[in-house]
Amino acid sequence: FADGPVVLPSGGPLYLQLKRWIEDAIHSGAINPGDALPSERDLATKVDVSRVTVRKAVLQLVKDGVLVQRHGSGTFVAPQTQRVEQSLSQLTSFTEDMARRGMAVRAEWLDRGLYLPSPEETVILGLSSGEQVARISRLRLTGDTPLAIERASLSSRILPDPAGIGDSLYKHLDKSGNRPIRAIQRIRAANLADEDAHLLQVPAGSAGLNIERTSYLASGRVIEFTRSIYRGDTYDFVAELRIGD
């Protein structure tokens, strides 16, 4: 923080004024991601407010994900997550995308099993009557950073053992000659619901991208229907556009 007297933005309770002042300092680059915040006492003296006010403002910013507290070492401006640029014109798998960037991936299983299909799954996957659906839901991470939640549905005939897919669904499908060759993808803006925000380690209500992918085999049959939720602060989807004929 620069030396000299501090002028808080006016209006509202004092702790919110202080909160806004800290946010402005981050946006203007006066303090950067990863920088330590002055101690509670120093900040209270500098801004001329009580330590209770500082604590309230800081707690709010921690809740918003703007600041992080590390036990024993203080409060820091939250590190900025590196954005991932993802092509929209190629049909690739999460594992392949990340491998190409040299990023280590892992998955945390949220669900995997065979279920009675929903009417939507029956229609989209073209299931015959009595056919079960294989559902695999994963939190996809690079290191400790969650990037997306993916909930995939496939016919149980294609995937009779959902627990056996290993690290990559597409690699597994490749083995049985069922790798999709085409997909339709729909992307929608969304504010993350509490549970999803919690899994993705961002504040509830943060921006997210809902992505639906329906993938097809060469025969035209739908092989996969996946609903994903990607973190809005992490992903840029990029497509090359060409002039039409």
Q: Which stretch, 62-70, 91-99, 118-126, 196-204, contacts ligand 16G (CB under 6 A)? A: 91-99
Assigned token pair, 16: 């919110």
**Do 17 and 9 touch, CB atoms closer than 8 A?**
yes
Q: Which stretch, 43-51, 52-60, 64-72, 220-228, contacts ligand 16G (CB under 6 A)? A: 220-228
**Do 78 and 65 touch, CB atoms closer than 8 A?**
yes
C-alpha span between 231 and 65 (Å, rounded): 14
User: What is the closest distance, in whole angstroms, from the C-beta atom of residue 105 to ligand 16G in the complex?
Assistant: 7
Assigned token pair, 84: 């991932």
By CB under 6 A, residue 93 contacts ligand 16G? yes
User: What is the closest distance, in whole angstroms, from the C-beta atom of residue 94 to ligand 16G in the complex?
Assistant: 3
User: What is the closest distance, in whole angstroms, from the C-beta atom of residue 225 to ligand 16G in the complex?
Assistant: 9
Handedness of CA 54, 194, 92, 114 (dihedral sign): positive
**Do 190 and 119 touch, CB atoms closer than 8 A?**
no
The contact pattern for ligand 16G, residues 39-78, with x = CB under 6 A and - = no contact, is ----------------------------------------
Nearer to ligand 16G, 61 or 165 (CB): 165
C-alpha span between 146 and 91 (Å, rounded): 22
By CB under 6 A, residue 137 contacts ligand 16G? no
